[in-house]
Structures are given as C-alpha cells and as structure tokens.
C-alpha cells in the first residue's frame, strides 16, 4: 500500500474487512478524485485510527465499496505541539492554520492578542470564523496524509493562554528581538510544548510579561522576520528537528 495514497475521513474505521465510503467523502472520491477499482486509499477517523484500502467497486458518483487490507493506530508525536496563533486579518489566519497543520501541529488555540486587528466577537460571526479554521485544519490534514486532525479550540484570552503555559511542559514565545535562539532552549521530549505566535504588530510588553511570569521562554526563530501567517510553520518544522518528533 502506497504511503502517498489519498486520505478520506470517516466517523470510525470499520473492524471488518469491507467498508463503504459514502457521504461527502465518498462523492469526493468517486466524482472528484475519480478513483477506480484496484486503486488504493486510506480511511482515517482523525484520531489516529486508519486503514489502508483497495477500491472494489464504484457505485455511481456517490460511494465506493472498499476492501480493507491493513489497519493501524498512529500515536501522536511527542512532544505535542500546541500552537497559540494570534488572530490575523483576512485569509492569512487560515493560511497559518493550513501551514501549521501540514508541518504537524497537534492543537491550535486562536489567541485574542491585544494587537490583533481581527476580533472574533462572540456570536455568529465569531462562530463562522472558527468554523473556517477548523475546516482548513481538516482539509490540510487530508492533503498532507495525516491520520490526526489538529484540534482547533475556542478562542483564548491572554489570561487563559498563561494558564495553558503553566500546565505545559514548556512554552516558547516567538519574538524576533529575543536574545536567545530557539535552538538554545531546553526543550522537553514529551508532554505539551506550547508555541506562541503573535499578530503582525507583535506581542505587547504586558502580554510578554504575563506569559513569562507563567513560565514561558522567549526566543527568536532566525535572523529574518517572518509574517504571522508563516512563523508557526517554520517554528514547528524546527521543533520537529530539535525534539524527538521527527526521529
């Protein structure tokens, strides 16, 4: 079974040797991807359970009959990366979510930073924005062949983020002006590693003080200044090398 077989999400991976892929995922596989008998795919529940399958028959443009050939459970990498991503204007927030998912983030916390231009107010508009982030994470997980879909939590305030930092194995706040580089930090081998990325205007001094008081370390990523939409992905890739995640 090819490791690059497309991934389709299901509510639960069947325990038997056959399955039917229907609903939106089945229509996408049959009508958009145009998979045919004998082709391979992977079904996953988004929580680490997955099965490699071969298409047996195509039932119109609505569903596929599958034969399951291998089943496995994929553990989450350690340490888990929890990204606190400041809200960003326009579609750059969704870009940040997409890139972070592709590089392996485990949890995304939308952060209501004081300098964020965007404010997700409680109500329908905020709910719609959160749904877009969650939908982006789901599609990016499929695109990058992940069996885990990152959890996108409810938006958090700085006070809530500080509480998250206190409970984590380590918290790293990205700041281009920091003296220490991310490679200079003492990073954990397991537990939750919280990564904080501020808005385009940067993290305020009071926010930085609050997070440092909660145990956060402040570090720069490199010699250049990245946009808020791309910094997380670069940092997650770096952490993949500096910790056991990619070993």
At residue 1, the pLDDT reads 45
At residue 2, the pLDDT reads 47
Q: The domain 7-73 belongs to what CATH superfamily?
A: Hypothetical PUA domain-like; domain 1 (2.40.240.20)
Rounded to two decimals, what is the model's pTM? 0.92
CA 150, CA 158: separation in Å to the nearest integer? 21
At residue 242, the pLDDT reads 96
Domain with CATH 3.40.1280.10 in the chain: 80-242
Kindly list the strands in the beta sheet with 217-219, ordered across the sheet, starting from the edge strand earlier in the chain. Answer: 151-152, 107-111, 80-86, 192-197, 170-174, 217-219
Domain with CATH 2.40.240.20 in the chain: 7-73
CA 226, CA 233: separation in Å to the nearest integer? 10
Among all chains, which residue has been given the structure tokens 């706040």?
A: 173
CA 48, CA 39: separation in Å to the nearest integer? 22
Angle at 67 between CA 64 and CA 70, to 5 degrees: 130
At residue 150, the pLDDT reads 98
CATH code for the structural domain at 80-242: 3.40.1280.10
| Portion of the chain with pLDDT greater than 70, in percent | 99
At residue 247, the pLDDT reads 87
Q: Which residues of the chain have pLDDT under 70?
A: 1-3
227 CB neighbour count, 10 Å cutoff:
11
Average predicted confidence (pLDDT) for the chain: 95
**The token pair that represents 67 in the structure block:** 């034969």
At residue 90, the pLDDT reads 82
At residue 3, the pLDDT reads 56
For residue 80, list its beta bridge partners. Answer: 192
Q: Which residues contact 247 (CB under 8 A, 6 or more apart)?
A: none
Angle at 85 between CA 84 and CA 90, to 5 degrees: 160
Angle between the N-to-C axes of helices 92-102 and 231-242, in degrees from 0 to 180, rounded to the nearest 10: 20
Model confidence pLDDT, tens digit, residues 166-219? 999 999 999 999 999 999 999 999 999 999 999 998 999 999 999 999 999 999
User: DSSP letters of 40-88?
Assistant: EEEEE-SBSEEEEEEEEEEETTTEEEEEEEEEEEPPPPSSEEEEEEEP-
């Amino acid at each position: 079974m090819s490791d690059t077989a497309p991934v389709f999400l299901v509510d639960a991976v069947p325990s038997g040797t056959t399955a039917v892929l229907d609903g939106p995922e089945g229509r996408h596989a049959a009508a958009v991807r145009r998979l045919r008998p004998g082709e391979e795919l992977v079904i996953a529940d988004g929580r680490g359970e997955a099965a490699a399958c071969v298409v047996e028959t195509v039932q119109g443009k609505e569903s596929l009959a599958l034969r399951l050939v291998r089943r496995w459970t994929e553990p989450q990498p350690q340490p888990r990366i929890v990204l606190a991503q400041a809200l960003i204007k326009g579609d750059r927030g969704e870009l940040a979510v997409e890139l972070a998912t592709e590089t392996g983030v485990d949890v995304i916390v939308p952060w209501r930073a004081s300098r964020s231009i965007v404010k997700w107010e409680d109500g329908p508009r905020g709910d719609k924005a959160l749904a877009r982030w969650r939908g982006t994470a789901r599609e990016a997980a499929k695109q990058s062949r992940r069996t885990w879909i990152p959890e996108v939590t409810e938006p958090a305030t700085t006070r809530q983020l500080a509480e998250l930092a206190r409970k984590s194995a380590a918290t790293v706040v990205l700041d281009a002006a920091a003296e220490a580089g991310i490679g200079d930090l003492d990073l954990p081998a397991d537990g939750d590693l919280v990564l904080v990325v501020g808005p385009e205007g940067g993290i305020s001094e009071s926010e930085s003080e609050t997070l440092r008081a909660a145990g956060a370390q402040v570090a720069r990523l490199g010699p250049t200044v990245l946009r808020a939409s791309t910094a997380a992905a670069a940092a997650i890739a770096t952490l993949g090398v500096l910790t056991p995640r990619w070993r």
